[in-house]
């Protein structure tokens, strides 16, 4: 299969390096302009956060009974984004799905940045007293105080930190041989830096031996983690008793949703990347098509989850469940609900048509739609459910105000900022793996394929 692929694409074993390391050449002016623009807005958002810190959370648009606003929505959204990376690099690696090689590196980078940003929200931006956020961290302290390991938020702390560490190490492991390659082609400071991070990798047989064993294990360990992390995140809600939160379908539903949004984000980022860096040979249309196909599956799962929620609301016979669903579907936030249904469950079905799957623009548009849909879904669940819970007297409608919105946009800018840095300063495609796919040449002709 890899043979076929390399024939098709005609990217030969010997070309891989310069093809990919091309991207590390000095960027143009427009790149810097965009980068600094993003950076400036991140700074501004930071300033707004400082303002919130100074005067209290009240400056944001919170409206009880809804105690959680878009900050938590952002958290769940970014964690969701973070999923595809490890999914693609780990799970598909185990499944020997070769088409992943072109996109795995970028996807993993996406994961890392997404988790970093996701972590900012519950730990700093969303907290009432962020200056004591470290009270959640379980370590022996002079205060003789400990966190409560029963709290879903503690699960979060454990799960997210673990997930971040694991993805980071996994990513770095994959990166080392490529860093070595970059090192060998760079000069001066760059060479020193790449050399530093390559740790003096020289591709000896013993290095490859242990490396290979470890990489497989990492993939194996990361796989259950991917599933677990978003299940844990979903417990922030499923373990609560609020109608609209309290539902056993949440873990699978959230995981599917996460992968859904993650894949969409992969498409959103890679399609431009592919265009800009002329990666058509590496990130092939087949690859994108494969992603699209997976998206159909996820879309169907999410759609199923929506349907089940509706069914349970009726079947449970519980007045709170029923009313909270009716409110969700026909109440104040109804438009959002229907947007979410369309974007997440209906739109991806278009990928059933090969034409759509293989049309870059359709892919891009639908990916964007899914991103929007998934963000809205989180809003509908988190904010929508809270605004109508048990006690009617306490009901209240929440909308984000300028503070919430600025900080949210800030988080998106930070994400793009980091991703752009990555694309320009690190090999954005796993060379060693691409080489494996291309296969080293044989004297008797053809390429070696195991």
Q: 72 to 111, contacts with other proteins by CB under 8 A?
A: none
390 binds other proteins (CB under 8 A): yes
With respect to other proteins, which residue has the nearer C-beta, 41 or 93? 93
With respect to other proteins, which residue has the nearer C-beta, 36 or 165? 165
With respect to other proteins, which residue has the nearer C-beta, 99 or 170? 170
Shortest distance in whole angstroms from residue 397 CB to other proteins: 8
- Select the span of 35-43, 98-106, 176-184, 364-372 touching other proteins (CB under 8 A): 176-184
As a whole number of angstroms, the distance between CA 269 and CA 276 comes to 11
239 binds other proteins (CB under 8 A): yes
Can you tell me which residue has the tokens 């909270």? 324
Q: Using CB under 8 A, pick the residue from 2, 173, 316, 359 that binds other proteins.
A: 173
Do 406 and 47 meet the contact criterion of CB atoms below 8 Å apart? Answer: no
Q: Using CB under 8 A, pick the residue from 148, 189, 335, 355 that binds other proteins.
A: 148
Residue 428 backbone dihedrals phi, psi, to 5 degrees: -85, 0
Q: Which of 337, 423, 375 is nearest to 35 (CA)?
A: 423
With respect to other proteins, which residue has the nearer C-beta, 323 or 359? 323
Q: How far is residue 261 CA from its own chain's centroid?
A: 7
As a whole number of angstroms, the distance between CA 122 and CA 221 comes to 26
Q: Name residues contacting other proteins, limited to 279-318 (CB under 8 A).
A: none
Do 99 and 127 meet the contact criterion of CB atoms below 8 Å apart? Answer: no
Do 416 and 16 meet the contact criterion of CB atoms below 8 Å apart? Answer: no
* Total residue length of the chain: 450
As a whole number of angstroms, the distance between CA 208 and CA 113 comes to 28
Shortest distance in whole angstroms from residue 4 CB to other proteins: 19
Helix (H) / strand (E) element for 256: namely helix 250-277
With respect to other proteins, which residue has the nearer C-beta, 36 or 151? 151
The residues that bridge with 66 in the sheet, in sequence order, are 63
Do 296 and 256 meet the contact criterion of CB atoms below 8 Å apart? Answer: no
Q: Using CB under 8 A, pick the residue from 47, 50, 200, 272 that binds other proteins.
A: 200
- Select the span of 28-36, 106-114, 120-128, 405-413 touching other proteins (CB under 8 A): 120-128
Q: Using CB under 8 A, pick the residue from 211, 250, 277, 422 that binds other proteins.
A: 211
- Select the span of 40-48, 129-137, 261-269, 371-379 touching other proteins (CB under 8 A): 129-137
Q: Using CB under 8 A, pick the residue from 214, 248, 330, 353 that binds other proteins.
A: 214
Q: Name residues contacting other proteins, limited to 400-439 (CB under 8 A).
A: 432, 435-436
Q: How many alpha carbons lie under 13 Å from residue 339 in its C-beta half-sphere?
A: 17
Q: Using CB under 8 A, pick the residue from 99, 170, 250, 254 that binds other proteins.
A: 170
Q: Using CB under 8 A, pick the residue from 32, 146, 311, 330 that binds other proteins.
A: 146
As a whole number of angstroms, the distance between CA 294 and CA 287 comes to 11
Can you tell me which residue has the tokens 């609020």? 242
248 binds other proteins (CB under 8 A): no
């Amino acid at each position: 299969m890899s043979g076929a692929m390399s024939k098709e694409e005609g990217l030969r074993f010997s070309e891989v390096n310069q093809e990919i390391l091309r991207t590390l050449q000095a960027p143009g002016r427009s790149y810097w302009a965009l980068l600094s623009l993003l950076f400036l807005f991140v700074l501004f958002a930071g300033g707004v956060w400082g303002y919130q810190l100074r005067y209290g959370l009240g400056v944001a648009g919170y409206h009880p009974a809804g105690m959680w606003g878009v900050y938590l929505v952002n958290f769940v959204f970014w964690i969701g984004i973070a999923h595809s990376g490890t999914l693609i690099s780990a799970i598909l690696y185990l499944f020997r799905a070769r088409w992943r090689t072109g996109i795995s590196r970028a996807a993993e980078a996406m994961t890392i940045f997404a988790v970093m940003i996701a972590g900012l929200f519950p730990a700093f931006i969303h907290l009432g007293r962020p200056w004591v956020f470290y009270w959640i961290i379980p370590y022996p302290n002079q205060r003789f105080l400990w966190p409560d390991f029963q709290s879903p938020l503690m699960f979060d702390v454990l799960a997210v930190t673990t997930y971040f560490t694991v993805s980071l190490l996994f990513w770095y492991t994959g990166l080392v041989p490529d860093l070595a390659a970059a090192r060998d082609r760079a000069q001066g400071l760059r060479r020193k830096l790449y050399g530093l991070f390559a740790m003096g990798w020289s591709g000896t047989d013993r290095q490859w031996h242990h490396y290979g064993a470890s990489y497989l294990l990492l993939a194996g360990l990361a796989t259950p983690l991917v599933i677990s992390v978003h299940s844990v995140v979903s417990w922030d809600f499923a373990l609560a008793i609020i109608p609209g939160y309290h539902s056993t379908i949440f873990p699978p539903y959230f995981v599917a949703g996460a992968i859904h949004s993650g894949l969409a984000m992969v498409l959103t980022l890679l399609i431009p990347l592919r265009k800009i860096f002329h990666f058509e040979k590496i990130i092939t249309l087949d690859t994108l098509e494969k992603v699209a196909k997976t998206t159909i599956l996820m879309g169907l799962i999410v759609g199923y989850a929506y349907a089940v929620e509706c069914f349970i609301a009726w079947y449970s016979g519980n007045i709170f469940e029923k009313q909270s669903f009716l409110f969700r579907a026909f109440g104040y936030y109804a438009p959002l609900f229907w947007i979410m249904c369309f974007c997440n469950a209906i739109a991806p079905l278009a990928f059933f048509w090969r034409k759509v799957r293989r049309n870059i623009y359709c892919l891009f548009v639908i990916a964007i739609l899914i991103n929007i849909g998934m963000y809205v879904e989180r809003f509908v669940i988190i904010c929508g459910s809270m605004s109508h819970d048990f006690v009617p007297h306490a009901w209240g409608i929440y909308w984000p105000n300028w503070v919430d919105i600025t900080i949210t946009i800030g988080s998106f800018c930070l994400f793009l900022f980091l991703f752009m840095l990555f694309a320009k300063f690190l090999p954005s495609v796993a060379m060693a793996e691409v080489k494996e796919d291309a296969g080293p040449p044989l004297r008797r002709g053809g390429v070696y394929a195991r």
